Structure 1
Amino acid sequence: MAEAGRTTYEDILEKLQVLADPAAVEGMAKYGITPVITFGVSIPNLRRIAKETGRDHDLARRLWAADIRETRILASMIDDPKLVTEEQMENWVKDFNYPEKTVLAIGSGFIPESNFAQSFGHRS
């Protein structure tokens, strides 16, 4: 059972299903955003979910493991950069397979605020 007020993995999946937009999935493909699994949820909606969720390292790792476009973007938005290990960073960076995830991971602070930013070519 989740702590009161704490967002769970299941909560996130439910929100993504409610916000799913099949037309957006078709539109994303025109721009080369072609993940195997996606709900077509907009970035502003993902930012809202991330803000409501707050920083949560364990939840971020679980979201990343789901290998869904939106869960991976959310993972980079909610993970606590100070808790990220070098191995985790290496693995996640390998999975930045299209520009959208890369830009969002940098913009959300996931890479710049980590202890490994310079190792990955980011200069503050």
Structure 2
Amino acid sequence: MTTTDELLAELAGLADPRFLEVNRRHGDDHAVNLGALRTVAKRLKTQPDLARELWATDDSAARLLALLICKPRQFDAGELDAMLRASRTPKVQDWLVNYVVKKSPHAEQLRRSWLTDPDPVVASAGWALTTERVAKKPDGLDLAGLLDVIEAGMKDAPDRLQWAMNHTLAQIGITHAVHRDRAIAIGERLEVLKDYPTPPGCTSPYAPIWITEMVGRRND
């Protein structure tokens, strides 16, 4: 049985200052290549108790590993809320939401409570869960109401929250034709991420372009 201390030592051995330098530009503080981290997780498989111990270390690489080997159903809603608020870095936050919360039976409860949270990082997680519902389980969602909130608040929202709201805006336009023209119009008026540098071959995050391009692909 591999212990937490042994894994921390292994992760320290995998740390590379070059990765840390790049990650710091994005607000992260782990120095382990994510591919190497996934290799360790594949070896360990699912270990809920070990995952809890790794999370408790407050080390970002260890927490990322914990999220790969945990069972999403092992955490109650209160634990997941506390984990998000303590997660500190964007990569840990993203993996927590995408790999754990989205697979949790508490996802909808948390989506509702996080969506209007005064902490913009927590609210961004609520919008990420909303984007998931817009795409996969839209029944019961007030899409027009979501567009109202986005139109009123996205322009001046902090970066992470703005990005998450913009993703919801684009997803509404992509997957719901009845709201597509309004979603594009909101994007054009607010101009959020209009000038975001987009590498060749990638889709711009500017909602009007994003929506138009994705819809065009579906119709090819």
Q: Same fold (TM over 0.5)?
A: yes
Q: Is the 8 A contact 1:77 1:105 kept in 2?
A: no
* Equivalent residue, structure 1, for 2:102: 112
Q: Is the 8 A contact 1:59 1:75 kept in 2?
A: yes
Greater mean deviation of Cα atoms: 64-73 or 15-24? 15-24
Distance 1:48 1:119 in 2: 33
* Equivalent residue, structure 2, for 1:25: 20
Q: By how many angstroms is 1:15 displaced?
A: 1.5
Query: Given the superposition, is the C-alpha separation of residues 27 and 92 from structure 1 closer, same or farther in structure 2, using an over 3 Å criterion?
Result: same
The ranges of structure 1 where at least 4 consecutive aligned residues each deviate by more than 3 angstroms after the TM superposition are none
Q: By how many angstroms is 1:19 displaced?
A: 0.5
* Equivalent residue, structure 2, for 1:3: none
* Equivalent residue, structure 2, for 1:66: 57
Q: Any gaps of 5 or more consecutive residues in structure 1?
A: 1-5
Aligned match for 2:9, one of 6, 11, 14: 14
Say which SS state the counterpart of residue 55 (structure 1) adopts.
Answer: coil
Q: Is the 8 A contact 2:84 2:96 kept in 1?
A: no
Q: By how many angstroms is 1:10 displaced?
A: 2.3
Q: Is the 8 A contact 2:54 2:66 kept in 1?
A: yes
Q: By how many angstroms is 1:8 displaced?
A: 2.1
Query: Given the superposition, is the C-alpha separation of residues 10 and 91 from structure 1 closer, same or farther in structure 2, using an over 3 Å criterion?
Result: same
From the CA coordinates, give the structure whose radius of gyration is larger.
2
Tell me the matched-pair count. 114
1:77 aligned onto 2:68: yes
* Equivalent residue, structure 2, for 1:93: 84
The normalised TM-score by structure 2 is 0.47
Distance 1:106 1:94 in 2: 12
The normalised TM-score by structure 1 is 0.80
Q: Is the 8 A contact 1:53 1:78 kept in 2?
A: yes
Instruction: Report sequence identity in percent.
Output: 28
Q: Is the 8 A contact 1:111 1:117 kept in 2?
A: yes
1:53 aligned onto 2:44: yes
